Amino acid sequence: MFRKISFSLLILSGSLTAATLVKDGLVASVIVLSSEPTEVDSLAAKELAEHLEKISGAKVATVNCTTEKVDDLIASSKTAGKLPILLGQLVLGRFEEKIKKQSEFDGAFILQVRADRISIAGPGRGTLFGVYELLEQTGVRWFMPGELGTVMPSLKTVTVTEQETIQGPSFPGRYFQMNGAPPDWLNRMRCGGIPQFPSAHGLPGIGGNDFEKHPEYFSQIHGQRKARQHCVSNPEVVKIVINAVRQWAAMNPGKPAFGMGPNDGAGFCECERCRALDGGDFDPFSGEESVTDRYVWFFNQVLDGIKDKYPDLKIGFYIYHNYMRPPVKTKPHPNITGALAPIALCRIHGPNNPICNEKQYYEWLAREWGKLIPELWERGYWANLACPGFPFVLVHRLREQIPMGKEAGITGWRVETFPNWATYFPSFYVAAKLMWNADTDVDELMKDVFEKFFGPAAEPMGDYINLMNNALRDGSYHTGCSWDMPYLYPEPLRKEARKLLSKGAKKAKKKGIYEARVQLITETFDLLEHFIAMMDARVEVDFLSAKKHLEAMDAVAETLMSYDPPMMVADRFSSYRNYTRRFYRPCTEGGFKRITDGNQMIAACKDEWNFLTDPLRVGEDLGFWKADASGVNWQRIKTSSMSWSSQGLRYYKGLAWYRQTIIVPADNKGKRIFLWCGGVDEKAKVWLNGKPIGISHGASFYPFELDATEAVKAGEPNVVTICVVNEVVDELGTGGIVAPVFLYAPVAGKDAKLENSRPLGRTFP
């Protein structure tokens, strides 16, 4: 007659009866705490009482009792007609061994429902999580933070099936790394566990201010010391870090681990001693030799240097950039832990997706590191990096990645993302459920989401969510940057999506919170459509329309950020504000200014250019910049409408040449004319008709302009040649020209201000 759950194991036996907590709106139970309850137990009692009141209107009281008098209380409660709900420390001793047999992870719990009592207990936050299990069995759901994301059934009678449920998490650590995630929602999603993986960039005890006095502590690059990274083979650097870790450990007794590692970025030491520590392994994604071996060696030295006093202290580091591949000759100390942070790999697809070899490479990394170190964390990205916050449903990825992580032995998750609840819906809910139980039936989970969240609009809104989810699953685009949005969500798909949203709105009309939820999801799609329209207008060099759609985007984003709690990040961490300001706003607003207020566009380059890569950097010597340069090797590539990653170049780093011919009307003879470019990734040198006219400022994605007056030939074809260097590994998969290019004449009588362009004397690349 009991139900027993161990992780995902469910055993049913006999007929199930029910225990009643509230009957016909009247209180039929009492919450019982220890006479000296823990903070967790008190929170569990509070959550249970408040939710029962919201469900039924009944105010279930909380009383205190000693362990010795529990049986007397049960007897008296039976007489009084109140079912006792025994929480936490009051009964933990009775069940502790039984719980441990099923799970030793923090947060494990037992929920035992009998005719005469309900017992909920577990170590750590187990009692709290057991309360949430009980509430979920009554129909409560916390799909997102806040009232809009909470499903609260309206019940006059509240019952719970007689059972013995024991659950423990699939992973001992379950975290979202996001700013602004409400702690109550994280608790209700059973997040947390063992302390978050301590990882960090940089080495303790040595700061940038030390460079002037001790340049030998820092990396040697092309024969000169640079304050970019550290010379980890330097014995003094090893001693300084050992002493710094000792000081930290003394000030933080009991802390299990210390985070350190390379500084974020490149510039690794090239001295003979450091190079001798490397394993000779090449990292294809960073395009550099792997430096994993040298840093594993360094961490080993530090751990050996503290073992006399702190033998159990661990060092944690990011498995990242060109220290992502496993070491090939240096065995990691058993106190080294790592967090896999594959920033350069695809963030769209799951490890089983047949169109994505990169995720198969990710799985290989996870399994290989899992063999080498006792604790491996996943510190990747459940986010579309550099994305202002457009729809990005990752259920297809999560349902593959998290179970694979369990099989590969991943200890826990601390995954970077943004609390853009509406645009990612229901990804975070699914992720939390899978982190708790990697064997969760995702199809049944999604069915529950659609029915409870959307109510009468469940069918069309479920179809919409699945449509957007499957678009990412099946899209042959990999990095995740927003340049690919028009291709991940092509026009026919967007039309179908709009139809489904309209059906959802009709079915939910005047249905209270269901109507509000459909409206919320519709607003996220509105944001996407305005973005794609803005980008399409920019391709056509129609900055009037582009500016209007940017303003419409702003209005929708402000609406999403105005919800309580915000459905998109609204503070200084706002992905919308920061990423539009970084990647999209400067081009759209800058282009608008140069075609209005009397400024005149003279001629615009088309979106598609002749294109040639130059990995050996010989193009300038070979005269690719000449107006009459010819050859059959030039190919065609789009610029402002598609990333070069999605046109076969993926993570190409190096030089690339662009050229095309435009006609400058004869009536522009004698005018002052500028070449304006909406942005490149990363730096550009520009020729017009074979004459060099300048070099960009070097700030990726920001517009620049160059005085082209002396090089323009009015009334004739003009050859525009741009050489772009893309050297820095980033998370975007972009490179080269990423925005429109045109010639314009400033309003007569006004001197145009150049946008941070460099004189030709500066070295390029």
Q: Which two tokens stand for residue 463?
A: 């179809």
Per residue, the 3-state secondary structure of 10-79, as one string, reads: EEECCCCCEEEEEECCEECEEEEEECCCCHHHHHHHHHHHHHHHHHHCCCCCEEEECHHHHHHHHHHHHH
Let me know: does 278 contact 289? Beta carbons within 8 Å.
Answer: yes
Cα(692)–Cα(689) distance, rounded to whole angstroms? Answer: 8
- The whole-number average pLDDT for the span 47-71 is 94
Q: Which two tokens stand for residue 214?
A: 């001790």
Is it the case that residue 197 has pLDDT exceeding 70?
A: yes
Q: What is the pLDDT of residues 695-733, one digit of tens each?
A: 999 899 999 999 999 999 999 999 999 999 988 766 777
Q: Which CATH architecture has domain 198-342?
A: Alpha-Beta Barrel (3.20)
Is it the case that residue 684 has pLDDT exceeding 70?
A: yes
Let me know: does 219 contact 229? Beta carbons within 8 Å.
Answer: yes
Instruction: Supply the pTM of this predicted model.
Output: 0.93
Is it the case that residue 660 has pLDDT exceeding 90?
A: yes
pLDDT computed for residue 3 by the predictor: 31
Q: What is the pLDDT of residues 209-250, one digit of tens each?
A: 899 999 999 999 999 999 999 999 999 999 999 999 999 999
One-character DSSP codes across 509-536: TT-THHHHHHHHHHHHHHHHHHHHHHHH
Angle CA 176–177–183, to nearest 5: 65
Q: What is the pLDDT of residues 730-743, one digit of tens each?
A: 677 789 999 999 99
Q: What is the pLDDT of residues 477-498, one digit of tens each?
A: 887 678 899 999 999 999 999 9
Q: Which two tokens stand for residue 715?
A: 């009334």
pLDDT computed for residue 631 by the predictor: 73
Q: What is the pLDDT of residues 297-328, one digit of tens each?
A: 999 999 999 999 999 999 999 999 899 999 99
pLDDT computed for residue 8 by the predictor: 38
Cα(671)–Cα(184) distance, rounded to whole angstroms? Answer: 64
pLDDT computed for residue 1 by the predictor: 30
Is it the case that residue 44 has pLDDT exceeding 50?
A: yes
Q: How many residues does the chain have?
A: 765
pLDDT computed for residue 763 by the predictor: 61
Q: What percentage of the chain reaches a pLDDT higher than 90?
A: 80
Q: Name the helix (H) or strand (E) containing 662.
A: strand 654-663
pLDDT computed for residue 286 by the predictor: 77
Q: What is the pLDDT of residues 336-390, one digit of tens each?
A: 999 999 888 888 999 989 998 888 889 999 999 999 999 999 999 998 888 999 9
Q: Which two tokens stand for residue 13?
A: 């036996």
Task: Indicate left, alpha or beta for 598 from its phi (over 0: left) and psi (-120 to 50: alpha).
Answer: left
Q: What percentage of the chain reaches a pLDDT higher than 70?
A: 95
pLDDT computed for residue 358 by the predictor: 86
Cα(370)–Cα(351) distance, rounded to whole angstroms? Answer: 16
pLDDT computed for residue 57 by the predictor: 97
* Average pLDDT taken over every residue of the chain: 92
Strands (E) in 244-388, as ranges, are: 257-259, 282-283, 288-289, 314-319, 336-340, 376-378
Task: Choose among 640, 569, 654, 568: nearest CA to 609.
Answer: 640
Whether a cis peptide bond, with omega within 30° of 0, leads into 147 is: no
Cα(56)–Cα(51) distance, rounded to whole angstroms? Answer: 9
Q: What is the pLDDT of residues 114-164, one digit of tens each?
A: 989 999 999 999 999 999 999 999 999 999 999 999 999 999 999 999 999
Q: What is the pLDDT of residues 177-195, one digit of tens each?
A: 998 889 999 999 999 998 7
pLDDT computed for residue 758 by the predictor: 52
In the structure, what pLDDT confidence band is assigned to residue 757 with cuts at 50, 70 and 90?
Answer: low
Domain 598-745: state its class.
Answer: mainly beta
Question: What are phi and psi for residue 715, nearest 5 degrees?
Answer: 80, 10
Cα(280)–Cα(405) distance, rounded to whole angstroms? Answer: 29
pLDDT computed for residue 755 by the predictor: 53
Cα(608)–Cα(629) distance, rounded to whole angstroms? Answer: 18
Is it the case that residue 267 has pLDDT exceeding 60?
A: yes
Give the three-class secondary structure for 488. helix
pLDDT computed for residue 12 by the predictor: 38
Per residue, the 3-state secondary structure of 582-634, as one string, reads: HHHHHHHHHHHHCCCCCCEEEEECCCEEEEEEECCCCHHHHCCCCCCCCCCCC
Cα(214)–Cα(186) distance, rounded to whole angstroms? Answer: 46
pLDDT computed for residue 265 by the predictor: 86
Is it the case that residue 553 has pLDDT exceeding 80?
A: yes
Kindly list the domain boundaries of the chain, sorted by start residue.
3-168, 198-342, 509-592, 598-745
pLDDT computed for residue 130 by the predictor: 98
Cα(143)–Cα(397) distance, rounded to whole angstroms? Answer: 18
Task: Choose among 273, 279, 275, 281: nearest CA to 293.
Answer: 279
Rg (CA), the chain: 30
Is it the case that residue 168 has pLDDT exceeding 70?
A: yes
Is it the case that residue 632 has pLDDT exceeding 80?
A: no
Domain 3-168: state its class.
Answer: alpha beta
